[in-house]
Amino acid sequence: MSDLPIRAVTRTAKLASLPLGFAGRTALGIGKRTIGRPAEMVAAEIQQRTAEQLFKVLGELKGGAMKVGQMLSIFEAALPPEIAGPYRNMLTKLQDSAPPMPASTVHRVLVEGLGENWRDQFTSFDDGPAASASIGQVHKAVWKDGRTVAVKVQYPGAGKALISDFNQIARLGKLIGVLFPGLDIKTILAELKERIVEELDYTIEAESQTGFHKAFADDPDFYIPEIIAQSGNVLVSEWIDGIPLSKIIAEGTQEQRDHAGLLYCRFLFSGPARCGMLHGDPHPGNFRLLEDGRLGVIDFGAVDRLPGGFHRRIGALMRIGTLLDIADVEQALRDEDFIREGVRVDPEGLQTFLEPIAQPLIEDTFKFSREWLRRQAAMVTDLRPSNVVRQLNLPPSYVIIHRVVSAGTGVLCQLEAEGPFRGEALAWVPGFADED
């Protein structure tokens, strides 16, 4: 039996209830239409109730279900206000929280990782979790040298639960499609599932975080906590306080939004240039605005290692996209397999699709907004055969990059941040400023 808060049978039943609930609401909607209610009103009601049930159930689960819930919660900025509005607080909460595991279970994992005398490593340890995530929870403690630390403890059975959840969630494509009809959920799930082995290995996470910590040491804009200890399913790092990005999204001033948004963008752009790695999980729960104005970054379980040459290819693609010379753009997309051999695209349709998306990298100053994202989402989710997006491919090597760009854009639109984002690309992305 799993030590996760909800046993496998219960978890499966909860996930299974989602498509059943959707089927019931759809049938009810058909019935209402037959007695004269407008189809648009019925469809909106189905979407609203589906959103409520989807995020409620995913939020009660850990493992893959919660990870997908976190991913979807970032995209809520693209939803129409009448659907997203009532659930925005619930979705934001989902980005940082989940039901805790018992203290006895936490202690058992600490014994397995740090030994029977694990308490000797701390002068104090708070049994209540300070935060919970998809595969582990964090406890605040004081290390033996007096430093306040974050102790990340992995849920026993997390690996099996993740695989089980992914297998179940893969069956929910139609349900998720009600909210995000253009989202390639299968590709995203495949990428997440492939990365999960790395995320379960805290040794890899410790190495990644150490690499970022060294690269950003003494940086005036960022703070990456130092790894103090790692053993088994326990990871100890420096504690950081600050205002979570999710709180700034909910109630921050415009000045805070602009400042946090610019640093958030700078961190994502500069990571590959400074340490050859891309932070692959940019949801708001992993970022804190510190009292001194720096952006604190946590959770390095999902990290993509980018060779220098590949990073330059990304920059070249970004630059060509901003030139809006559609012949060059199409050739670049074909060279990188975004347009597969033998596939024809409408140049005018491609240009219409790319122009607004490229705006943040063309204009000296750009303001992200939910309305802007909804307009882009409307183009992507247009299911007409003539939509050029339907002809585009996502090469495997770009999957995690696409995830970061999409999620990062969603966060910037939630923040409604304004700033010189083109300048950040020019400063940090090799190949973007090249003219040859």
DSSP H/E element including 374: helix 370-380
Nearest to 109 by CA among 134, 133, 127: 127
CA angle 344, 347, 352 (to 5 degrees): 130
Q: Average the pLDDT over 213-235 and give the result.
A: 97
Q: In terms of domains, do 44 and 145 share one? A: no
Q: In terms of domains, do 270 and 353 share one? A: yes
Least confident of 22-26, 241-245, 363-367: 22-26
What is the reported pLDDT for 176? 56
Q: In terms of domains, do 220 and 348 share one? A: no
Look up the CATH number of the domain holding residue 151. Answer: 3.30.200.20
Which ranges constitute the DSSP H helices of 85-241? 88-94, 103-114, 158-169, 173-179, 185-200, 202-215
Q: Cα separation of 329 and 78, whole Å?
A: 26
Active-site hit among 165, 281, 299, 304: 281
Nearest to 350 by CA among 392, 322, 381: 392
In a domain, 431, yes or no: yes
- Dihedrals φ, ψ of 183, to 5°? -75, 125
Q: Is the pLDDT of residue 187 over 50?
A: yes
Q: In terms of domains, do 338 and 316 share one? A: yes
Q: In terms of domains, do 248 and 110 share one? A: no
In a domain, 1, yes or no: no
What is the reported pLDDT for 389? 76
Least confident of 74-78, 240-244, 309-313, 354-358: 74-78
What is the reported pLDDT for 393? 81
Amino acid at 124: S
Q: In terms of domains, do 83 and 107 share one? A: no
Q: In terms of domains, do 75 and 221 share one? A: no
Q: Helices 63-74 and 39-60 sit at what angle, rounded to 10 degrees? A: 130
What is the reported pLDDT for 134? 66
Q: Cα separation of 113 and 156, whole Å?
A: 12
What is the reported pLDDT for 388? 79
Q: Is the pLDDT of residue 10 over 80?
A: no
Q: In terms of domains, do 132 and 249 share one? A: no
Answer with the residue of higher pLDDT: 354 or 4. Answer: 354
In a domain, 226, yes or no: yes
Least confident of 35-44, 249-258, 424-433: 35-44
Answer with the residue of higher pLDDT: 406 or 219. Answer: 219
Number of domains in the chain: 3
Confidence band for 37, pLDDT divided at 50, 70 and 90: very low
Q: Which two tokens stand for residue 327?
A: 């012949």
pLDDT in tens, 290-319: 999 999 999 998 899 988 788 888 888 888
Q: In terms of domains, do 59 and 121 share one? A: no
281 part of the active site: yes
What is the reported pLDDT for 354? 85
Residue for token pair 């019931």:
24
Structural domain including 309 reads 241-436
Answer with the residue of higher pLDDT: 196 or 122. Answer: 122
In a domain, 419, yes or no: yes
In a domain, 61, yes or no: yes
What is the reported pLDDT for 157? 81
The mean predicted confidence, pLDDT, of the chain is 78
Beta bridge partners of 419: 366
In a domain, 175, yes or no: yes
The fraction of the chain above a pLDDT of 70, given in percent, is 67
In a domain, 186, yes or no: no
Q: In terms of domains, do 39 and 135 share one? A: no
Q: Average the pLDDT over 152-178 and give the result.
A: 69
State the number of CA atoms in the 13 A half-sphere of 254 facing the CB: 5
In a domain, 190, yes or no: no
pLDDT in tens, 328-364: 889 989 998 888 888 888 888 888 888 888 899 999 9
Tell me how crowded residue 349 is: count the other CB atoms within 10 A of its CB: 16
CA angle 184, 311, 359 (to 5 degrees): 65
Q: In terms of domains, do 418 and 281 share one? A: yes
Q: Cα separation of 92 and 377, whole Å?
A: 20
Q: In terms of domains, do 344 and 409 share one? A: yes
